Structure 1
């Protein structure tokens, strides 16, 4: 009986991990680039000891302003994995999730030109552990991203939510 239960739990963990991998793979390339920016930023912090993986999107919007220019906003969760940072992991997206740490709540917004992230305006990346995220932080994120698109004369980035 116990072996059957253990098998069921292991199978569930594999399916859950595969769903998150599929969720990342299902993202359009421009959104994957933003997730990768957030992952790079997290991995650059000395206090982060494990790899993170994309878990799910919460909100996405994409405003095309013409001539190959788009403004993207993506609110998503990253989840810590059991793979330690600095180990030779060929693909961190295959590392199993940890369930003893909170998810990272991330918001990114950036401008692309012909599907490449532009350096100006500087991409905005904000990630924080979910329990520490405040309403004030959420407002600051949205305001920053709105200003990014307004400063460039584009329609408001957050006017269209594609969920």
Structure 2
């Protein structure tokens, strides 16, 4: 009887955690979802990836409005492997795997009218969580800060043209 209770508790925990992650993804603003989707697309292109991954949770996120419908997005989040094979179309029945490390991702990109711009090229850095060091975190932030300031639009707008 106790074994049956433990089995139901374990299965319930797996299903709830997957459902909570889907709910967390559903609560993201549309511009952040686009970055997560891009990350999942790039991750699934790797031949070594065998399982379907789902958004697990956000660590931090920010958006800087530069005016004229231009927004710079930064999103640091975790992806977690499921027991479903890569390419699964409907992940609602996919439970999380707890025997592999999560994927720690940071992405930054520029949007114009809610669409990810090709230039500057979106920056994506995803590593297994144990591989993320303080140096990696600093490098990510520096790269994303350069992306936001490389636009040049504010300099153009600040010009008075008198010299």
Q: Give TM-score, length-normalised by structure 2.
A: 0.89
The count of corresponding residues between Structure 1 and Structure 2 is 153
Structure-2 residue corresponding to 1:125: 124
RMSD: 1.4
- The correspondence of residues 1-163 of structure 1 with structure 2, limited to 5 A, is 1-86=2-87, 89-92=88-91, 94-153=93-152
Q: Which runs of 4+ in 1 moved over 4 A?
A: none
Which structure ranks higher in relative contact order (CA pairs < 8 Å, sequence separation ≥ 6)? 1
CA contact (8 A) 1:21 1:94 kept: no
Structure-2 residue corresponding to 1:161: none
Q: Give TM-score, length-normalised by structure 1.
A: 0.89
Q: Deviations over 1:45-98 (max 9, x none)?
A: 111111111000000000011111000000000001111124xx2223642111
Return closer, same or farther for 1:93/1:11 CA change in 2, 3 Å cut-off.
Answer: closer
Larger radius of gyration: 2
Shift of 1:110: 0.2
Shift of 1:153: 3.8
Task: Between 9-18 and 44-53, report the one with greater CA deviation.
Answer: 9-18
